[in-house]
Amino acid sequence: MTYTVETLSIPDVRLIRAARFEDSRGFFWMTYRKSEFEALGIREDFLQDNLSRSSRGVLRGLHYQKEPAAQGKLLTVLSGEIYDVTVDIRPESPTFGAYVDVSLSAERPEMLYIPEGFAHGFCVLSEYADVLYKVTREYSPEHEAGIIWNDPEIGIRWPVRNPVLSEKDKKLPRLQ
């Protein structure tokens, strides 16, 4: 098996570690192999890949898409380091409003799997970070939604006090 999985405090969100092979030329790791992900219980058809580059202190999120365009995500950091946050927005869930956080770095062969029903955001801890994420549905502007990054009811302990935000992210509503 190329991957191992760590279940986080919200069991549907999983940290996936890949085998990394290094030699004098550099390294190699397989970022996605459908058959092995299915064996881990992640049975998704990823339809679109997105790549973002952000500089230190940039905070993106908390974003999600509403049904019928809700997206599952598989996130990988290609360069730099981020503090990543996933918030459970499934009203019927026992962990509704709870979040899981993890530091992801290009130095570690890790990926974060986020199923549908979660808002997602991250802030950049390094000079810059390149983040690649696969999604299970194509982007749909009319289904785009989000939650304000500093919603006091969620209480995320971001490692930045005054993040760099987009104008759109500054105006997002609270979860409730």
3 counts as catalytic: no
Nearest to 122 by CA among 49, 54, 26: 54
b or e along 110-140 (b: 16 or more beta carbons within 10 Å of the residue's beta carbon)? bbbbbbbbbbbbbbbbbeebbbbbbbbbeee
- Looking at residue 23, its amino acid is D
Backbone phi and psi for residue 20, each to the nearest 5 degrees, phi listed first:
-120, 130
- Looking at residue 41, its amino acid is G
63 counts as catalytic: yes
Q: Which of 83, 113, 133, 143 is catalytic?
A: 133
For residues 25 and 32, give the distance between their C-alpha atoms in angstroms, rounded to a whole number: 22
36: number of Cβ within 10 Å: 15
56 and 83 Cβ atoms separated by less than 8 Å: no
Q: Which of 3, 32, 63, 99 is catalytic?
A: 63
Place of tokens 């409730």: 176
Question: Which sequence positions are flagged as catalytic?
Answer: 63, 133
